[in-house]
């Protein structure tokens, strides 16, 4: 060790300390990458990759690769060859489902086409179309052309209510079939509404907690923390019990004669908003409280003594000091609300569903997994953007729990 | 914030109105949780207070829904309640079974989350940690990413590696719940290390303690409260998690939230309220534990 310059020894010690710190984090980082980051990445890949058509229809795929424009007799011959292949391998349903995602009502076209493919005689361009006129539809050929490549952007187009017409141009889908953009808009609007209500309810409570003596405020804090610790399903169940047609609130309203008709407060948007505000309110109060607690009362008193009314003193002196708390709470509540699933699924009915519920629908019921992945990717992008903003403005290490 | 003597009448009114508003908001927060407790003792299968309950008639109250929790799924629920009846309840009753599963999944995922989370929190709070911000952002992200996206990703991942065929029951669910619990452990343990005085460890080392002793005698007592409350958070996260379980668990792998979810979706019966009451009692206990730990931690760190 003798004779080594101090600078070098320091650098070495420092890099050793760095390595040791990193070594503590590496196991968890690996764990999270394997059990969380990689699965989500793999899922996102699904939103641009679907080879159900490309894998099972090689001949027509080869024709698409070599030719542009309208289908010729060769193209129909390749299609019939593929349909025969699909019948042999029992993959017609899979192929039809893939095309059906983009052009409704075509799944049965493929299954019945595959059934009858063996009996067809050339020229196929006429015999296939005679069998079912839909085979001549230019839009169908356009969809097959896109699907013949395993990588596709069409699920993202669909998630934004866009589609390709017969000539391959990107156009809006007809009014009646556009669902996704409206749902995204509704999800963001409802989340903003929930955030606003949370702020409106959370601000006075946080202020009260921050100004009371510590012993009292700790006691009242329990009322905020208990909901935070209580099972989400329990809280959702309670709201179902309270808001039902025959529930406690409606019974009270009718018994006291405030209304004659029972209000529909659940299985709609109202139910979703009420229950979600209740669930997310602690996430607003806690960051607000942690910003308000250290604010010293002297400033407001000084403002008052200089002649400000209590409203002016609040607006010009107190409120600006709580802006970091408002930002932290509002961003956190908004991020959590945008991706909410359980509560809308249970109390949302038809009108209170959010984008997460549609992802679940595509995962579990319609089984259009690529579509689910594309919607998830868009939602994830929005959430990560907000998360990045949160980190920039507030810093993740300032997140506190209780 | 006592009312100053120079307050105008309007300010006096506002002072009391403000307290009333706050009281109402507290009521909004707490009433929905407390309301299920009396309703779970309803003698009738309704979700509202019956006339008998309102007049505090003992006939209006009963333990029948708690009884249902025990007997539902039993082979012979109607025989006299002796040792063999209880054995039957322990092995066959549906809700007892799912409770056992929930506890097993919760304990194992909590252990993984706490060990890995504490280690990395120790690394992250060292001043020389490189890429601190990025790594922290990645490790906290399971808390932020919408649960449906996590569940979807894990569904594809675990079915592609066929984790259910590995012969370890609940392995997928345990790993997923550990991932979801880790952010809580990191946040709570990091919070106890804020303002950690590194001269303490140096002092210990200079007095001849080896690194293991330093950790055991100096660092561990300081972070222990944070570790335990992080572990409790992780346990509650797992204990309450339903979406991932629905997506990746096998059809026979039932937990309390999954059973509740099915109960709520199909035909909600007051038995759900009995479960809810038990869960509320558990969360009150956990909250009390975490509060005690937080105070202990603040005392230890001299805050």
Q: What confidence tens digit (pLDDT) does each residue in A374-383 have? A: 999 999 999 9
Higher pLDDT, A262 or A231: A231
Strand A170-172, strand A162-164: pairing:
antiparallel
Whole-angstrom distance, CA of residue A83 vs CA of residue A92: 7
Return the closest-CA partner of residue A57 out of A24, A36, A86: A86
Q: Please state which of the ranges A225-239, B70-84, B255-269 shows the lowest mean pLDDT.
A: B70-84
Higher pLDDT, B125 or B255: B255
pLDDT band at B2 (very low <50, low <70, confident <90, very high): low
Q: Which of A162, A177, A192 is the last residue of a domain?
A: A177
Whole-angstrom distance, CA of residue A334 vs CA of residue A352: 17
pLDDT of residue A138: 84
* Among chain B residues, CA nearest to A274: B28
Q: Are residues B74 and B163 in the same domain?
A: no
pLDDT of residue B219: 87
Query: What does the pLDDT look like over A321-376, one tens digit per residue?
Result: 999 999 999 999 999 999 999 999 998 888 888 999 999 999 998 888 989 999 99
Taking CA atoms, B146 is separated from A365, B149, B185, in Å, by 20, 6, 19
Mutate to test the interface with A, among B106, B144, B193, B287 (most CBs of A within 10 A): B144
- Look over chain B and give the mean of its residue pLDDT values, rounded to a whole number: 88
Q: What is the mean pLDDT of residues A272-292?
A: 93
Instruction: Copy the structure tokens of residue B163.
Output: 């984790």
Whole-angstrom distance, CA of residue A240 vs CA of residue A247: 8
> Distance from CA of residue B28 to its chain's centroid?
21
**Residue range of the domain that includes B84:** 42-92
Residues 154-183 of B with CB under 8 A from A: 154-158, 160, 175-176, 178-179, 182
Q: Which of A153, A177, A201 is the last residue of a domain?
A: A177
B101 domain residue, yes or no: no
Q: Are residues A325 and A393 in the same domain?
A: yes
**Residue range of the domain that includes A366:** 180-398
* Among chain B residues, CA nearest to A44: B153
Return the closest-CA partner of residue A372 out of B146, B179, B178: B146
B296 domain residue, yes or no: yes
Judged against a pLDDT cut of 70, whether residue A402 lies above it is answered with: no
- Look over chain A and give the mean of its residue pLDDT values, rounded to a whole number: 88
- Min Cα–Cα distance to chain B from A34, Å: 10
pLDDT band at B1 (very low <50, low <70, confident <90, very high): low
Taking CA atoms, B151 is separated from A267, B111, B147, in Å, by 24, 21, 6
Residues 74-93 of B with CB under 8 A from A: none
Judged against a pLDDT cut of 60, whether residue A239 lies above it is answered with: yes
Helix (H) or strand (E) holding B8: none
Judged against a pLDDT cut of 80, whether residue A230 lies above it is answered with: yes
Highest mean pLDDT: which of A134-148, A156-170, A180-194, B196-210? A180-194
Whole-angstrom distance, CA of residue A222 vs CA of residue B235: 20
Tell me how far apart the 2 most distant CA atoms of chain B are, in Å: 75
Q: Are residues B62 and B156 in the same domain?
A: no
B98 domain residue, yes or no: no
Judged against a pLDDT cut of 90, whether residue B302 lies above it is answered with: no
> Which residues, in sequence order, are CB contacts of A251 under 8 Å at separation 6+?
B48, B49
pLDDT band at A99 (very low <50, low <70, confident <90, very high): confident
pLDDT of residue A400: 66
Whole-angstrom distance, CA of residue A33 vs CA of residue A41: 10
Which percentage of chain A shows pLDDT scores above 90?
A: 36
Q: Are residues B212 and B282 in the same domain?
A: yes
Q: What is the mean pLDDT of residues A235-260?
A: 85
B274 domain residue, yes or no: yes
Q: Are residues B145 and B52 in the same domain?
A: no
Higher pLDDT, B244 or B198: B244
Contacts 24+ apart (CB under 8 A), B292-298: B293/B225, B293/B226, B293/B228, B293/B229, B294/A402, B294/B225, B294/B229, B296/B225, B297/B192, B297/B222, B297/B225, B297/B226
Mutate to test the interface with B, among A396, A398, A400, A402 (most CBs of B within 10 A): A396
Q: Is B187 part of the contact surface with chain A (CB cutoff 8 Å)? A: yes
Whole-angstrom distance, CA of residue B222 vs CA of residue A356: 41
Judged against a pLDDT cut of 70, whether residue A175 lies above it is answered with: yes
Query: What does the pLDDT look like over A199-224, one tens digit per residue?
Result: 999 999 999 999 999 889 888 998 99
pLDDT of residue B92: 85
Residues of B whose CB is below 8 A from A42: 153, 156-157, 160
Instruction: Copy the structure tokens of residue B239.
Output: 């204990």
Q: Are residues A89 and A152 in the same domain?
A: yes
Number of domains chain B is built from: 2
* Among chain B residues, CA nearest to A221: B26
Q: What is the mean pLDDT of residues A139-153?
A: 85
What burial class does residue B134 get, using C-beta atoms within 10 Å of its C-beta: 0-12 exposed, 13-18 middle, 19+ buried?
exposed
Taking CA atoms, A310 is separated from A251, A294, A297, B2, in Å, by 41, 20, 13, 14
Q: Are residues A333 and A210 in the same domain?
A: yes
Q: Are residues B126 and B69 in the same domain?
A: no
Q: What is the mean pLDDT of residues A304-318?
A: 89
């Amino acid at each position: 060790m003798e004779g080594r310059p101090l600078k070098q020894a320091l650098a070495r010690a420092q890099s050793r300390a760095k390595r040791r710190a990193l070594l503590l984090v590496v196991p968890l980082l690996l764990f999270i990458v394997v059990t969380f980051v990689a699965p989500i990445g793999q899922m996102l890949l699904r939103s641009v990759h679907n080879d159900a058509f490309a894998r099972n229809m090689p001949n027509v795929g080869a024709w698409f690769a070599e030719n542009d424009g309208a289908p010729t007799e060769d193209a129909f011959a390749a299609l019939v060859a593929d349909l025969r292949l699909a019948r042999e391998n029992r993959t017609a349903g899979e192929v039809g489902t893939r095309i059906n995602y983009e052009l409704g009502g075509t799944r049965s076209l493929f299954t019945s086409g595959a059934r009858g493919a063996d009996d067809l005689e050339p020229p196929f361009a006429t015999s296939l179309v005679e069998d079912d006129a839909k085979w001549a539809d230019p839009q169908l050929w356009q969809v097959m052309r896109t699907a013949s490549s395993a990588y596709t952007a069409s699920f993202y187009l669909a998630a934004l209510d866009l589609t390709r017409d017969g000539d391959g141009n990107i156009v809006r889908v007809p009014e009646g079939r556009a669902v996704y953009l409206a749902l995204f808009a509704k999800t963001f609007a409802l989340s903003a509404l929930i955030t606003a209500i949370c702020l409106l309810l959370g601000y006075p409570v946080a202020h009260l907690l921050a100004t009371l003596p510590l012993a009292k405020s700790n006691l009242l804090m329990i009322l905020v923390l208990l909901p935070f610790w209580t099972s989400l399903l329990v809280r959702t169940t309670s709201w179902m019990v309270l808001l039902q047609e025959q529930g406690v609130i409606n019974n009270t309203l009718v018994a006291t004669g405030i209304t004659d008709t029972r209000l529909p407060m659940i299985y709609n948007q109202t139910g979703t908003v009420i229950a979600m505000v209740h669930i997310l309110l602690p996430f607003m109060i806690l960051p607000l409280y942690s910003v308000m607690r250290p604010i010293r009362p002297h400033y407001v008193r000084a403002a008052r003594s200089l002649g400000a009314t209590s409203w002016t003193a609040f607006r010009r002196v107190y409120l600006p000091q709580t802006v970091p708390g408002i930002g932290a709470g509002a961003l956190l509540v908004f991020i959590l609300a945008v991706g909410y699933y359980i509560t809308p699924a249970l109390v949302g009915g038809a009108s209170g569903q959010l984008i997460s519920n549609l992802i679940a629908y595509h995962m579990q019921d319609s089984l259009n997994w690529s579509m689910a992945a594309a919607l998830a990717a868009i939602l994830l992008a929005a959430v990560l953007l907000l998360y990045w903003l949160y980190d920039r403005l507030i810093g993740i290490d300032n997140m506190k729990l209780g | 914030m006592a009312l100053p003597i120079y307050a105008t009448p309007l300010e006096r009114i506002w002072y009391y109105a403000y307290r009333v508003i706050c009281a109402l908001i507290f009521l909004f927060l707490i009433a929905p949780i407390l309301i299920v407790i009396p309703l779970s003792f309803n003698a009738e299968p309704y979700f509202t207070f019956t006339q008998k309950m309102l007049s505090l008639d003992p006939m209006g109250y009963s333990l029948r829904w708690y009884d249902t929790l025990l007997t539902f799924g039993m082979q012979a629920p109607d025989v006299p309640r002796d040792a063999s009846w209880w054995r039957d309840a322990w092995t066959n009753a549906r809700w007892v079974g799912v409770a056992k599963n929930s506890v097993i999944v919760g304990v194992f995922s909590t252990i993984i989350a706490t060990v890995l989370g504490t280690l990395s929190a120790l690394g992250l709070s060292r001043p020389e940690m490189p890429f601190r911000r990025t790594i922290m952002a990645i490790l906290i992200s399971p808390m932020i990413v919408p649960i449906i996206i996590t569940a979807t990703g894990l569904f594809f991942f675990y079915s592609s590696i066929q984790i259910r065929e590995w012969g370890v029951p609940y392995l997928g669910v345990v790993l997923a719940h550990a991932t979801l619990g880790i952010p809580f452990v990191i946040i709570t343990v990091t919070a106890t290390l804020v303002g950690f005085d590194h001269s303490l460890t140096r002092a210990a080392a200079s007095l001849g303690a080896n690194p293991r002793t330093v950790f055991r005698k100096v660092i561990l007592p300081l972070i222990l409260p944070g570790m335990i409350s992080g572990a409790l958070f992780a346990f509650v996260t797992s204990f309450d998690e339903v979406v991932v379980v629905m997506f990746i668990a096998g059809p026979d792998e039932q937990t309390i939230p999954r059973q509740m979810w099915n109960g709520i979706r199909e035909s909600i019966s007051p038995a759900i309220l009995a479960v809810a009451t038990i869960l509320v009692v558990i969360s009150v206990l956990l909250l009390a534990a975490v509060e005690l730990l937080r105070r202990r931690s603040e005392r230890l760190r001299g805050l």
